[in-house]
Chain A
Amino acid sequence: MPTAIEFFKFLPKTNCGECGQATCLAFAMQLANQKATIDACPYVDGGAKEKLEESSAPPVRAITIGSGDRAVSMGGETVLYRHERRFVNPTAFAISISDTCSAQEMEQEVSKYLDMAFERVGTVFNIDMFVLRDDSGDPESFRTAAVRLRSLTDLPLVLESSSADVLSSAAAELRDVRPLIYGAGQDNIEAMVAVAKENSLPLALIGNDLDRMAEMVEVARKGGVEDLILDLGSSSMKHILESNTVARKVSLRRTFKGLGYPLMNLVGSGPAAMMKASLAVMKYSSLVVFDSLEAQQALPLMTLRQNIYTDPQVPIQVKEDLYPISDPGEESPILFTTNFSLTYFTVRADIEKSRQPVWLQVVDTEGLSVLTAYAAGKFSHEHVATALQASGALDRSKGPIVTPGMVAKLSGKLEEALGRKVMVGTMESSALPKFLKNLRQ
């Protein structure tokens, strides 16, 4: 992003006020903070505008594949390391399907992957896209298969072929749902760019050499296609790590212009695919395409994606509520803890380990951990009592109420407030299994 001073240079400095700001300098500052757009000043000439737009373009272009609710956004990334700022658009996962499979096979494949969904901490994970792969070499077979695939799913599609002839009628037929064209290599780039341009579709460029890729990007842009995604090759983990890192880094640093697009990786199937995919999620890939994927692979991979794309500024918070663990009943103990996700996960895992039925009350502490929340006055006996009452915990069980050992001080006042027996639990969550087993006896 240009600075306020850089913007200021392009303004007429007449302070006419038509942009809504008192002075040109004030307007420049608004621009630098992305609170205004250059169009608000009628006096900036076209050439200057173009220059400004170029230097204020995001370092990694944002593009969209698909249409409607299920459309997938990619790119728009601004940082190399996630502690600096949240990674923006999570990696999409796609499954590749051959155009030679029968109608029935295609239906089975599609429904297998549509059913592969998991819920984790309140979020549903699933496959994001399908790729239709040209194995037939026949435009009509490919078009028919594309239409059939589209009738089975509203997920965004990728149309894959090395031949523009095979692709073109399917692309024209499905252009309204905005599939990705995959893709252009050294040999077919002119023809592929033409197909993408004609149908206003995003285009993937394929090549494992960065310098050559930069030239292909130039060719595509000259041909009028700006919505690009780059496949820099996936031959090894080393190649993925280094190519993706270089492309992201030179784009963010603006030391090189031509590679500022989302990246993608085709990883195949089996263990090697899982390894490459895990790496690609952590290292800047916007789209990972599999030939096949099983549930035992998809769950860890999708959990990884959720972890990596979490906003580092906002600790994930668990909803304040009463959580039953191992089917608790009227006599089961009621434990409580904070809504800081790490604390909650740890306590929960340790309770599960004990195999004892427990009611776990989460108290909203704005994402602070036990001691911090207590010190900040967000985990007082009043907070806890209110939460226990609101969730109905006190009606569900007559069992003992257990405070975390670190806030043993709460127990007296809490006992008074609730008129119920309150016990002091363990200092460390890891001691809970033993504590709970003893409690039972």
Chain B
Amino acid sequence: MAKVPLPKEKWSGNIGSVSLGDGGVRAGGGKGMPFLSFEDRSYPRALIAGEVMDDVSDFPQIVLDQFGEAASDPVSWAEEWKARGADLICLRLLSTDPDRGDASPEDAARTAREVADATGLPLIVYGCGIADKDADTMEAVSASLAGHRSILAYVEEDSYKRISAAAMANKHSVLAFSNLDINLAKQMNILLSDFGVDRSDMVMDPLMAPLGMGMEYSYSVNERIMLAALSGDRMLQVPMVCDASQAWQVRDCSDDDPSLGDVAERAAWWEFTTALAALLSGADILILRGHDAMALVKEAIDDLGGGA
């Protein structure tokens, strides 16, 4: 009988891994292209980070409805994510924004600690997006989460030193952000490495553009990063974080237009599809907003044989 050869690549590299929480949670470590069991028999299971905000003004009502009462407070919201099976909590400290109440770094850090204590899950912590304030916030967060290895988000080419130093001080990981370009992603990892961040403390976010808003760029950038990393480019062998919650930025995701079908289900598929594209192109950690989407993503990971 004809014998079809298995087109197994001989990769010379693999993705590094980071350990989080008290060390029991690991992300990364893939040795082949995603989910191909003939390349990597135990392709690591991607982790899911459930998104929690400390300020829900401007937040989509459909998501708040999914969480009900729990969403009124970051701790109960995070506990709800844990109960539904999230591996991490992505905490966005929006209240630190000068236009959203200007919460102090200490207050923000206390919230982070409470979420960590209540759930025991590692966190990915974001500030409000204003570089100076975020650096202040992350210094306080780093200290308050000492002993509970988390990910401090995010650092960019022109502002990485303070947050990276804060992360190193307490053995946290740093999320290196770059704008949709394999060379920029690599450059960012080199910068961090030169600054003294250990590769086992780095994760990267090459920007997951959502479905219908440039997703194909991200899909291809991610694939190229994976191919280069597996081919031995050490400066790209860093676990990838993909933020699929950005799907909600796309109007068709949650626009309440009946001709586009049921809006809650459509939003779940919009986020799911963005997440699946991320998984197939190499995501190690997915940030998700809706728990409907998480249920679908988990089912898909099982069906793909991830972490088997």
Chain A residue contacts of B277, Cβ below 8 A: 282, 304
Q: State how many residues of chain B have any CB contact under 8 Å with chain A.
A: 51
In contact, A218 and B269 (Cβ under 8 angstroms): no
In contact, B273 and A294 (Cβ under 8 angstroms): no
Chain B residue contacts of A259, Cβ below 8 A: 4
Whose C-beta in chain B lies nearest to the C-beta of A294? B261
With A250-B4, A300-B211, A300-B270 in contact, do A294 and B262 touch (Cβ < 8 Å)?
yes
Chain B residue contacts of A308, Cβ below 8 A: 216, 219
Contact with A along B197-217 (1 / 0, CB 8 A): 000000000000101111111
- CB of B42 within 8 A of chain A? no
Chain A residue contacts of B280, Cβ below 8 A: 241, 279, 282-283
Docked CA distance A267–B265 (Å): 19
Chain A residue contacts of B250, Cβ below 8 A: 345, 349
- CB of A297 within 8 A of chain B? yes
Contact of A307 among B6, B212, B251, B259 (CB under 8 A): B212
Nearest Cβ distance between residue B99 and chain A, in whole angstroms?
Answer: 7
Nearest Cβ distance between residue A156 and chain B, in whole angstroms?
Answer: 25
Whose C-beta in chain A lies nearest to the C-beta of B35? A241
Whose C-beta in chain B lies nearest to the C-beta of A342? B214
Interface residues of A in 63-93 (CB under 8 A from B): 81-83
In contact, A241 and B304 (Cβ under 8 angstroms): yes
In contact, B261 and A299 (Cβ under 8 angstroms): yes
Docked CA distance A237–B305 (Å): 8
Contact with A along B240-272 (1 / 0, CB 8 A): 000000000111100000011111011001101
Interface residues of A in 281-340 (CB under 8 A from B): 282-283, 294-301, 303-304, 306-308, 310, 312
Nearest Cβ distance between residue B31 and chain A, in whole angstroms?
Answer: 16
With A211-B4, A294-B261, A300-B266 in contact, do A236 and B273 touch (Cβ < 8 Å)?
no
In contact, A300 and B273 (Cβ under 8 angstroms): yes
Contact of A238 among B5, B227, B296, B303 (CB under 8 A): B303
Contact of B260 among A255, A296, A353 (CB under 8 A): A296
- CB of A420 within 8 A of chain B? no
In contact, A215 and B223 (Cβ under 8 angstroms): no
- CB of A21 within 8 A of chain B? no
Nearest Cβ distance between residue A334 and chain B, in whole angstroms?
Answer: 21
In contact, A296 and B269 (Cβ under 8 angstroms): yes
Whose C-beta in chain B lies nearest to the C-beta of A252? B7
Docked CA distance A342–B263 (Å): 24
In contact, B269 and A274 (Cβ under 8 angstroms): yes
Q: State how many residues of chain A have any CB contact under 8 Å with chain B.
A: 59
Docked CA distance A233–B143 (Å): 53
With A118-B260, A275-B300 in contact, do A249 and B7 touch (Cβ < 8 Å)?
yes
Chain A residue contacts of B211, Cβ below 8 A: 300, 303-304, 307
Chain A residue contacts of B35, Cβ below 8 A: 238, 241
Nearest Cβ distance between residue B296 and chain A, in whole angstroms?
Answer: 7
- CB of A434 within 8 A of chain B? yes
Chain A residue contacts of B223, Cβ below 8 A: 81-83
**Which of A211, A303, A306, A310 has its CB near the most chain B CB atoms (within 10 A)?**
A303
Contact with B along A395-423 (1 / 0, CB 8 A): 00000000000000000000000000000
In contact, B276 and A278 (Cβ under 8 angstroms): yes
Interface residues of B in 123-144 (CB under 8 A from A): 129
In contact, B304 and A237 (Cβ under 8 angstroms): yes
- CB of B220 within 8 A of chain A? yes
With A255-B5, A256-B4 in contact, do A296 and B249 touch (Cβ < 8 Å)?
no
**Which of A82, A272, A296, A301 has its CB near the most chain B CB atoms (within 10 A)?**
A296
- CB of A439 within 8 A of chain B? no
Nearest Cβ distance between residue B7 and chain A, in whole angstroms?
Answer: 4
Whose C-beta in chain A lies nearest to the C-beta of B213? A345
Docked CA distance A306–B250 (Å): 15
With A237-B304, A345-B214 in contact, do A245 and B36 touch (Cβ < 8 Å)?
yes
- CB of A258 within 8 A of chain B? yes
Chain B residue contacts of A19, Cβ below 8 A: none
Docked CA distance A81–B228 (Å): 13
- CB of A253 within 8 A of chain B? yes
Docked CA distance A298–B259 (Å): 12
With A237-B304, A242-B37, A297-B261 in contact, do A279 and B276 touch (Cβ < 8 Å)?
yes
With A237-B300, A238-B35, A341-B214 in contact, do A246 and B220 touch (Cβ < 8 Å)?
no
In contact, A250 and B273 (Cβ under 8 angstroms): no
Contact of A278 among B1, B3, B6, B273 (CB under 8 A): B273
Contact of B4 among A210, A271, A295, A296 (CB under 8 A): A210
Nearest Cβ distance between residue A406 and chain B, in whole angstroms?
Answer: 13
Contact with A along B53-75 (1 / 0, CB 8 A): 00000100000000000000000
- CB of A120 within 8 A of chain B? yes
In contact, B36 and A242 (Cβ under 8 angstroms): yes
Interface residues of B in 1-24 (CB under 8 A from A): 1-7
**Which of A238, A295, A307 has its CB near the most chain B CB atoms (within 10 A)?**
A307
- CB of B195 within 8 A of chain A? no
- CB of A128 within 8 A of chain B? no
Chain A residue contacts of B129, Cβ below 8 A: 430
Contact with B along A178-215 (1 / 0, CB 8 A): 00000000000000000000000000000000111011
In contact, B2 and A218 (Cβ under 8 angstroms): yes
Nearest Cβ distance between residue B177 and chain A, in whole angstroms?
Answer: 14
Contact of B2 among A258, A310, A430, A433 (CB under 8 A): A258
- CB of A154 within 8 A of chain B? no
Docked CA distance A215–B1 (Å): 7
Docked CA distance A346–B265 (Å): 23
Docked CA distance A294–B266 (Å): 10
Chain B residue contacts of A238, Cβ below 8 A: 35, 37, 303-305
Whose C-beta in chain A lies nearest to the C-beta of B255? A352
Whose C-beta in chain A lies nearest to the C-beta of B250? A349
Docked CA distance A237–B280 (Å): 11
Docked CA distance A415–B210 (Å): 36
Nearest Cβ distance between residue A147 and chain B, in whole angstroms?
Answer: 32
- CB of B224 within 8 A of chain A? yes
Chain A residue contacts of B220, Cβ below 8 A: 81-83, 312
Known: A246-B4, A275-B303. 10 other contacts (CB 8 A): A82-B219, A210-B4, A238-B35, A256-B5, A271-B299, A298-B261, A301-B269, A303-B212, A345-B213, A346-B249
Q: Which 7 A-B pairs have the closest CB atoms?
A: A296-B261, A295-B261, A296-B266, A214-B2, A83-B220, A249-B7, A237-B303
Ordered by A's residue number, 28 sampled pairs between the chains whose C-beta atoms are within 8 Å are A120-B252, A210-B4, A215-B2, A241-B35, A241-B304, A242-B38, A250-B5, A250-B7, A255-B7, A278-B272, A295-B266, A296-B263, A296-B269, A297-B261, A299-B252, A299-B260, A300-B252, A301-B273, A304-B277, A307-B214, A307-B216, A308-B219, A345-B212, A348-B251, A349-B249, A349-B251, A352-B251, A430-B129
